[in-house]
Amino acid sequence: RKEVEQDPGPFNVPEGATVAFNCTYSNSASQSFFWYRQDCRKEPKLLMSVYSSGNEDGRFTAQLNRASQYISLLIRESKLSDSATYLCVGGGGSARQLTFGSGTQLTVLP
Amino acid sequence: DAGVTQSPTHLIKTRGQQVTLRCSPKSGHDTVSWYQQALGQGPQFIFQYYEEEERQRGNFPDRFSGHQFPNYSSELNVNALLLGDSALYLCASSLVQDAYGYTFGSGTRLTVV
């Protein structure tokens, strides 16, 4: 079983729609969690950190449930520019290394 | 302010050969981590270097080795290349006291034929 699992999609949604991504993790050594965004053939970039209290950054809302080992990302009013692969990531270990899920591909359609 | 620089951007090698990939960290960063990203997968942690020593290693065979230089730049070496080593190799730099403040380079795409 992978340490971080997420639905690979693809998710194809119309512009303006709300889309939710879910992720589960099994490695209790992961202490911190993040969502990264990766455009085609580009490097991953940090989208936002994820906290148990939930956090919001504009149209993006992330939530962590440690008891269920579950992480979510909600994108409201999706834009064409949101099209990318979204990676669920756990951080931990002595080197604070990142453990990535396989990614969920999102395409926002005009 | 230069970000993370990786070279080369693309590389084609034959099975059994050896390859060296290079990374210059973001200015001010002292730690370099390497990740392998196979097609359709998320990046996987290979190892991390700090103070010229391997600080932590992921689940990769000894064919994968690295080095960090006094100027914080780093190399990733892969010996006896296999077809399965074909992937995007990403370098991420950070500051040791900023645990998750990673900056990724744009990667080296290695194809083994």
pLDDT tens-digit profile of B16-60?
Answer: 999 999 999 999 999 999 999 999 999 999 999 999 999 999 999
Q: How many angstroms away from the CA of B2 is the closest CA of chain A?
A: 15
Q: What is the pLDDT of residue A52?
A: 84
Q: Is the pLDDT of residue A29 over 90?
A: no
CA distance B71 to A9: 42
Is the CB of A97 less than 8 angstroms away from the CB of B99?
no
Q: How many angstroms away from the CA of A15 is the closest CA of chain B?
A: 25
Q: How many angstroms away from the CA of B50 is the closest CA of chain A?
A: 9
Angle at A32 between CA A55 and CA B57, to 5 degrees: 150
Angle at A48 between CA A58 and CA A29, to 5 degrees: 150
B15, exposed or middle or buried, with CB in 10 Å at 0-12, 13-18, 19+?
exposed
Question: Does residue A44 sit at the B interface (CB-CB below 8 Å)?
Answer: yes
pLDDT tens-digit profile of A42-70?
Answer: 999 999 999 888 899 999 999 999 889 99
Q: What is the pLDDT of residue B1?
A: 56
Chain B interface disruption, residue of A3, A97, A102, A104, most B CBs within 10 A: A97
Per the prediction, chain A carries an average pLDDT of 93
